[in-house]
Amino acid sequence: MTSSIKPSAATEYELGRFTGGSQRPLMAMLEITNRCNMSCPLCFTDAHPKAADVGLDEIVKRLDSLLDVAGPIPLQISGGEPTLHPQLAEVVAEARRRGFRNIELVTNGMIISANPDFLGALVDQGLTAVYLQFDGLRKQTYEAIRGRDMSEVRTRSIEAIRKARICCTLAVAVTPRVNDSELGDIVDFGISNIDTVRAINFQSATRFAGRYPVQSSERGYSLEELVKLIEVQCGLVTGGFVSDLFGHPKCNAMSLVYVVDGRLKPLFSYISPETRRNFLGREPRRILLDLFRGREYFCRKYLINPRTWKFLAEAVDIFGTEHRVQSFLKARHILLFAKSFMDLPALDPARLNQCCYGIATARGVYSFCAYNNLHRFG
């Protein structure tokens, strides 16, 4: 998937760069500015108000480069703060024109919360979802990670996303001794807004080359530690997270959680690995994206497939009622993701070579961890 990270085998330019072919990222980020309307103490891009935007011509080149390497994979438009870019709507339109069908806006929520109609124009151009910075529910958490209380901004952002009739993922930078005790509360918040919040991504805060105020001796959470925190705080039985669907097994884990009689039940705890692999097939990413689009769409597309019914035959034990299949089809669900990044001392060639998350840059498409450790600041 990526070039070898051994300096003797490749130039620095190639370290962590995706080369295409049969191995490619499953999702990529496109950074269109490093300008931001905040100065968060924790920021891996070192974004600030006086930074520069990327021109539309260069953005188009990066989109084309991504297409050459990976095809029209799910795309995150990011920054800095991308809502500050004067041609954001054109960027979305250019991505859509090139065949990208899953286009997500990564945002701190400042602009969309202040202007509820802002998202509507982007949806008209092809935007499909929002990836909302959401670090907790306490004022102290936001002051430590973002430098100001963002609680009201977050609430208004959710309302704006709901008004635009699209869905969102809550993006949580899990920071030691700051918000690592709030994960259960964040899941509760997501479930209370489950019509709009389809997923929560718990990302271990990582010391890249940007701003990272946590003590230098503090390391980020491993994937195993992060999953354990989520399970304990949410009261989930163990085994509900799986890490063999995409990327390296130490990098990504996910759980599809159903809300049953006020309790959270992880689907993958109730079905065998063999049944799960048979149902997901060779393209688990596609099925996961369809789950993200909602129950009605998922049922229309998959209930005609015999593999779905075999899958359901095991999964319905979640409900323990007479009408288990009907309950399964009506139940609410939310996707929980855990992500552990690597800082420079922990950079592992095996993990880089199985990376599933890229960044489209002026020099090519790079692994997220390789780019932020080795290339972003030269």
pLDDT in tens, 131-147: 999 999 999 999 999 99
pLDDT of residue 157: 97
What is the pTM assigned to this prediction?
Answer: 0.90
pLDDT of residue 304: 73
CA separation for the pair 268, 251 (Å, rounded): 18
Task: Give the percent of the chain with pLDDT over 90.
Answer: 60
Instruction: Out of 119-123, 148-152, 288-292, 354-358, pick the least confident.
Output: 288-292
318 vs 228, more confident: 228
User: What does the DSSP assignment read for 60-100?
Assistant: HHHHHHHHHHH-S--EEEESS-GGG-TTHHHHHHHHHHTT-
Report the pLDDT averaged over residues 94-123. Answer: 96
pLDDT at 104 over 80: yes
- Cα-flanking dihedrals φ and ψ of residue 133, to 5°? -60, 120
Report the pLDDT averaged over residues 198-218. Answer: 79
Torsion of CA 167, 172, 173, 176, to 10 degrees: -170
pLDDT at 160 over 80: yes
- Cα-flanking dihedrals φ and ψ of residue 172, to 5°? -110, 120
pLDDT in tens, 269-309: 888 888 777 777 666 777 766 766 666 677 777 777 777 77
Handedness of CA 10, 14, 16, 22 (dihedral sign): negative
pLDDT of residue 119: 97
Angle (CA) 282 287 289, round 5°: 125
Which run of H or of E encompasses 154? helix 151-163
Amino acid letter, residue 78: S
Other beta carbons within 10 Å of 345: 8
Instruction: Out of 94-98, 155-159, 192-196, 318-322, pick the least confident.
Output: 318-322
Cα of 218 vs its chain's centroid, Å: 24
pLDDT of residue 278: 76
Question: Using CB atoms within 10 A of its CB, is residue 129 exposed (0-12), middle (13-18) or buried (19+)?
Answer: buried
Place of tokens 């009506």: 330
Report the pLDDT averaged over residues 115-137. Answer: 96
What integer best gives the mean pLDDT of the chain?
Answer: 87
pLDDT at 217 over 80: no
pLDDT in tens, 9-24: 445 567 889 987 667 8
pLDDT at 120 over 90: yes
pLDDT of residue 4: 43
Report the pLDDT averaged over residues 57-61. Answer: 98
Cα of 212 vs its chain's centroid, Å: 20
| Helix and strand numbers, DSSP H then E, in the chain | 15, 11
pLDDT in tens, 69-80: 999 999 999 999
pLDDT of residue 9: 42
pLDDT in tens, 26-55: 899 999 999 999 998 888 888 888 888 999
pLDDT of residue 331: 75
> How do the domains of the chain map onto residue ranges?
12-375
Query: According to CATH, what is the number of the domain 12-375?
Result: 3.20.20.70
- Cα-flanking dihedrals φ and ψ of residue 266, to 5°? -75, 125
CB contact at 8 A, 85 and 79: yes
pLDDT of residue 321: 57
CB contact at 8 A, 135 and 145: yes
pLDDT at 8 over 50: no
